Amino acid sequence: MKDKVLEKLKGIVYGPDGAGIVSAGMVSDIVVQGSKVIFSISLPPGANEGAGAMQKEAEEAVAAIDGVETVLVVLTAEKPAEPRAKEAPKLSSKPDRPVGPDMRPAAGAIPGVKAVLAVASGKGGVGKSTTSVNLALGLRALGLKVGLLDADIYGPSIPRLMGITERPNIVNERIVPIDQYGLKVMSMGFLMDEESPVIWRGPMVVSALMQMVREVEWGELDVLVLDMPPGTGDAQLTLAQQVPLAGSVIVSTPQDLALIDARKGLKMFKQVDVPILGIIENMSTFVCPHCGEKSDIFGHGGAQEEAAKLGVMFLGAVPLHMDIRHYSDEGTPVVIAEPDGVHAKVYKTIAMKVAALMGEAGDDEE
């Protein structure tokens, strides 16, 4: 199939020299998953004029191949080298602010979406995606129209957590998110096999993320919950800069190692002027289902203490409990499986706080 894709793309040219995108080595990272085809086109530095028309032509060419139903073309571009500054910039007296002039791109609003909420963590493995899902469902339980975007390209968890195995449709060149449990959901995991690794370069990941934000038909939403990739790299920074975030929530376990990374995530949002709504302590106290004894496997209260030190709200502690894990693995989040249960109540309480804080943040911005 990859040979067929390249053959179809050979006749497409781009740039002032009219170079073929295949012969010029612009096509890469071709991924074929059943009837889905995803590939990258790398643009020369500074050559963006006409890229949209070329992208559409490439999509139509590959879509004409027998057996291909969905085509996703990711445009990537390397920035031209910037001239070296004559003098080194002076260090800012405020350690939490970026050094040098503010060169950040302006954030563009997402049509129909009133507010975007980022759920982030400084590292992986702290239950961020599980928290994102149940928080989104908690917001929906308040009567809000909610969407959920899985921005973790390398390790998408939302399809499994939400019990979604179907593929999204494409209508009028826009991806239609999948409706599940009253949420509009989109994940790169919908377009790829669960066991296939994503071996992409950083620019391709960033481009794919922005396409999922901008080219998905979200409709009218009160809140779009953005399940951020772990860490504070290029993908996270681009999302924080180019998506108009109403606020961010940091997820951490109580242990010191996780809190160190949570601090980094919090500082990243401060540097790009994103309101920090608070910290959630996940995998808090474990209660033995047999004897009822409490055990602080990862410690307890560390995130709450950290929130107090950093001057942000402590949103709540989610216990380490087998029911949450069990329902997550089954694709039925605990807020859906046991809507009146004690664990669902924890998430719904956090959702109420987050909704109130987002309203305050919105009022401050006006």
**Where are the strands (E) in 78-131, listed by range?**
116-120
| Number of residues that make up the chain | 366
The tokens for 245 are 């975030």
Residue 126 forms part of a structural domain: yes
Residue in 115, 98, 96 with CA at minimum distance from that of residue 107: 115
**Amino acid type, 134:** N
- The structural domain count of the chain equals 2
Range name among 124-128, 277-281, 291-295, 312-316 with the lowest pLDDT average: 291-295
**Domain finish residue from 56, 77, 98:** 77
- Residue 123's pLDDT band, with cuts at 50, 70 and 90, is low
Residue 104 forms part of a structural domain: no
Answer for the pair 140, 132: CB distance below 8 angstroms, yes or no.
no
142 shares a domain with 223: yes
138 shares a domain with 48: no
The runs of H, that is alpha helices, within the chain are 2-9, 51-63, 128-141, 158-161, 202-214, 234-242, 256-271, 302-310, 322-330, 334-337, 342-365
- Residue 74's pLDDT is what? 72
Q: Structural domain of residue 169, as residue ranges?
A: 116-365
In whole angstroms, how large is the CA radius of gyration of the chain?
22
Coil, strand or helix: which one is 298?
Answer: coil
Average pLDDT value for the chain: 76
| pLDDT tens readout for residues 178-203 | 999 999 999 888 876 655 655 566 56
Residue 15: which CATH number? 3.30.300.130
Residue 34 forms part of a structural domain: yes
150 shares a domain with 19: no
Q: Stretch 296-320: mean pLDDT, rounded?
A: 70
The tokens for 268 are 């990243």
- Residue 103's pLDDT is what? 40
Q: Which of 111-120, 177-186, 281-290, 340-349 has the highest mean pLDDT?
A: 177-186
Q: Stretch 268-282: mean pLDDT, rounded?
A: 80
Answer for the pair 280, 132: CB distance below 8 angstroms, yes or no.
no
From residue 196, give the alpha-carbon distance in Å to each of 104, 166, 193, 229: 34, 16, 5, 18
Range name among 89-98, 158-167, 214-223 with the lowest pLDDT average: 89-98
**Domain finish residue from 62, 77, 92:** 77
| pLDDT tens readout for residues 64-95 | 999 888 787 776 655 444 444 434 334 333 44
Residue 84 forms part of a structural domain: no
- Residue 364's pLDDT band, with cuts at 50, 70 and 90, is very low
Residue in 98, 117, 149, 106 with CA at minimum distance from that of residue 238: 106
129 shares a domain with 73: no
123 shares a domain with 59: no
Whether the per-residue pLDDT at 97 is higher than 90: the answer is: no
Residue 241 forms part of a structural domain: yes
- Residue 32's pLDDT is what? 77
Would you tell me how many other CB atoms lie within 10 Å of the CB of residue 304?
Answer: 17
192 shares a domain with 71: no
Nearby residues of 148 by Cβ (< 8 Å), 6 or more positions away: 132, 133, 136, 158, 162, 183, 184, 185, 186, 224, 225, 227
Query: What is the share, in percent, of the chain residues with pLDDT greater than 70?
Result: 71
Residue 97 forms part of a structural domain: no
Q: Stretch 52-67: mean pLDDT, rounded?
A: 88
- Residue 137's pLDDT is what? 96
Segment holding 153, helix H or strand E: none
155 shares a domain with 28: no
Residue 36 forms part of a structural domain: yes
**Amino acid type, 321:** H
229 shares a domain with 175: yes
Distance (Å, whole) CA 99 – CA 93: 10
12 shares a domain with 142: no
Range name among 141-150, 240-249, 304-313 with the lowest pLDDT average: 304-313
Residue 302: which CATH number? 3.40.50.300
- Residue 148's pLDDT is what? 96
**Domain finish residue from 77, 108, 138:** 77
345 shares a domain with 289: yes
Looking at per-residue pLDDT, the higher value among 216 and 39 belongs to 216
179 shares a domain with 71: no
281 shares a domain with 157: yes
Residue 205 forms part of a structural domain: yes
Give bridge partners of residue 174 from the DSSP assignment: 171
